[in-house]
Amino acid sequence: MHELGIAQSALERALEEMRKAGCSRVSRIVLRVGRFSGVDAESLRFAFEAVRAETPAAEAALQIDEIPPTVHCAPCDADFAPTSGPPFACPRCRTWSGTIVHGRELDLIRVEMT
């Protein structure tokens, strides 16, 4: 379960930011997670609850902002939201192509602390 490693990394970065800011407690961590990132949100929440125990983030909430996928079709220069795939069929020109523009994100967006 790579979600455990992701939760641990997010917690470590949040605690580092907390120390830099001279705060003593993390109250919320906000992650942006794309649907094509391979991360299971529920597993990530479960892992985060385990790793936050006995840290200054023991009561912190984990907010996961899920990013829907967007694919770009080069032949017709259009972006679209895929309904399945990969591979992706452009709904405009029906070409099997596409570069994922959004949906693979895995970013720490914000750390709230006191």
Residue-range domain boundaries for the chain: 2-68+103-113
CB atoms within 10 A of CB 114: 10
The pLDDT of residue 83 is 80
Confidence class for position 95, pLDDT limits 50, 70, 90: confident
Confidence class for position 1, pLDDT limits 50, 70, 90: low
The pLDDT of residue 20 is 97
The pLDDT of residue 55 is 98
User: Mean pLDDT, the chain, as a whole number?
Assistant: 94
- Please provide the CATH number assigned to the domain covering 2-68+103-113: 3.30.2320.50
Alpha-carbon radius of gyration of the chain = 18
Tokens coding 106:
């895995």
pTM: 0.86
